[in-house]
Amino acid sequence: MDNLRKTVDKKLKEQNKDLFESKIVMFWNFAKNNKNWWIISVIVFIIFFFLQFINIPLLNFISIKEDTVKSLIENRTTNIVTLISVTFAVIGFLIANLAIKDSYTYNILFKKSSFFPVVYFALSLIVMFILLSTLKDSFLPIYNARTLIVGSFLLICVIFCVGYLFTQLVKFTNHKHILKLTKNEFLKEAKENLKIIGRKQLSEKIVNELGFSKFSNFRYSPYVKADFRVPKGHIIISDVKINKLTELSSSIHSKEEILINNVRLYKEVNADDSFFYVAPNNIIKHKKLLKKLNSCIVTSDKPIKFNFESKNYIIQKLNENIKMNNEKNVEEYFDILFEAFKLQQDFKI
The tens-digit pLDDT sequence of the chain (349 residues) is 679 999 999 999 999 988 888 888 888 878 777 788 888 999 999 999 988 777 777 666 777 787 888 888 999 889 888 888 888 888 888 788 776 678 888 888 888 888 888 989 999 999 999 999 998 888 888 888 889 989 999 999 999 999 998 888 888 888 888 899 999 999 999 999 999 999 999 999 999 999 888 887 655 467 777 778 888 889 999 999 999 999 998 888 776 778 888 899 999 998 888 888 888 888 888 888 888 999 999 999 999 999 999 999 999 999 999 999 999 999 999 999 999 999 999 998 8
User: How far is it between the farthest Cα atoms of the chain?
Assistant: 92
CA–CA gap between residue 248 and residue 294 (Å, rounded): 11
CA–CA gap between residue 238 and residue 324 (Å, rounded): 46
Angle between helix 309-323 and helix 327-346 axes, rounded to 10 deg: 150
CA–CA gap between residue 71 and residue 76 (Å, rounded): 9
Is the Cβ–Cβ distance between 3 and 297 less than 8 Å? Answer: no
**Integer CA distances (angstroms), 346 to 10, 191, 339, 349, in order:** 17, 11, 11, 10
* pTM (2 d.p.): 0.83
Residue 265 DSSP label: T
Please give the pLDDT value at position 111.
84
Please give the pLDDT value at position 255.
66
CA–CA gap between residue 227 and residue 123 (Å, rounded): 51
Please, is 227 exposed, middle or buried when counting C-beta atoms within 10 Å of its C-beta (0-12, 13-18, 19+)? exposed
CA–CA gap between residue 24 and residue 29 (Å, rounded): 9
Is the Cβ–Cβ distance between 297 and 233 less than 8 Å? Answer: no
Q: Which domains does the chain have, with CATH numbers?
A: 33-173 (no CATH), 210-300 (3.90.1170.30)
Please give the pLDDT value at position 27.
81
Residue 257 DSSP label: S
Parallel, antiparallel or unpaired: strands 213-214 and 236-240: unpaired
Residue 229 DSSP label: -
Instruction: Please spell the DSSP secondary structure of 49-65, one letter per residue.
Output: HHGGGS--HHHHH----
CA–CA gap between residue 168 and residue 139 (Å, rounded): 40
**Integer CA distances (angstroms), 107 to 98, 158, 172, 193, in order:** 12, 23, 12, 19
Which residues lie closer than 8 Å to 331 by C-beta, 6 or more apart?
none
Phi-psi region of 295 (alpha: psi -120 to 50; beta: other; left: phi over 0): alpha
**Integer CA distances (angstroms), 307 to 187, 190, 195, in order:** 11, 8, 12
CA–CA gap between residue 11 and residue 101 (Å, rounded): 41
